[in-house]
Amino acid sequence: MPRKRRIWFPGAQYHIMCRGNHRAEIYREEEDRQVYLSLLEETRKEYPFSLISYCLMSNHVHLQIETIDTEPGMFMKMLNMKYAIYFNKKYNFVGHLFQGRYRSELIESDSHLLQTSKYIHLNPVRANIVGNPSMYEWSSYRAYLNELSLRSKVKYCPVVLNTGVILRYFKNNSAELYKAYVEYELSLYNPSKNTDDAVSAHAGSAGEDD
């Protein structure tokens, strides 16, 4: 039975996820994540698209993108192939690295766009890896904060991010308001945390559509 063709049009935005086959690790060392990000940027230059958010976990990766004039299947195939060749050669790995094709979800509203970025940046918190998304170095969250004290801790970030796609929904493109929007969710994982300021900033700053 033929595969159902994915919906695509120029400017379409997606939440893309790739998982390791049998949920196995796709990144074993820091170098693997560095190579993946380098290949991601290399692919972005060859098949231009806007990278909005990302998060590299041990056995899967989340990407939030906006296409320009190339459907995501073309550059995701190239990215996954190049990374699989690197991984298989390094670890003498035989078989499929990724579990089937990449998964993609078409983003169809402003609220969905913002929620997707928040979801991606909170992934390490939900996995109990860190207590705050700013502590995780293999996501785009620190770049959004635009705080030198945090950005100086980013070891390796060769990818070009289009943070404006998200920050334009916050007054004066405020990174602080975006931070409050994302970290308001931390109260769900740490109820004892005082989130009064976050709640205040969250309620009416994001400009979401219902």
Per the structure, the count of domains in the chain is: 1
Is-contact 141 124, C-beta < 8 A? no
For residue 149, pLDDT over 80 is answered with no
Within a domain: residue 189? yes
Cα-Cα end-to-end distance for the chain = 37
Task: Tell whether the torsion through CA atoms of 76, 82, 85 and 90 is positive or negative.
Answer: negative
Give the pLDDT confidence of 25-73 residue by residue, as tens digits: 999 999 999 999 999 999 999 999 999 999 999 999 999 999 999 999 8
Residue 93's domain spans which residues?
Answer: 13-202
For residue 90, pLDDT over 60 is answered with yes
Within a domain: residue 44? yes
Within a domain: residue 50? yes
Amino acid at 155: K
Within a domain: residue 8? no
The span from the CA of 101 to the CA of 182, in Å, is 29
pLDDT band at 7 (very low <50, low <70, confident <90, very high): confident
Tell me phi and psi for residue 195, to 5 degrees.
Answer: -120, 25
Contacts of 18 (CB under 8 A, 6+ apart): 26, 60, 61, 76, 80, 98, 99, 102, 103
Residue that wins the pLDDT comparison between 140 and 196 = 140
Mean pLDDT, residues 118-143 taken together: 94
The residue among 185, 164, 162 whose CA lies nearest residue 115 is 185
Within a domain: residue 132? yes
Q: What is residue 192's predicted lDDT score, i.e. its pLDDT?
A: 45
Within a domain: residue 54? yes
Record the pTM.
0.83
174: domain CATH number? 3.30.70.1290
Within a domain: residue 51? yes
150: left (phi over 0), alpha (psi -120 to 50) or beta: alpha
Within a domain: residue 115? yes
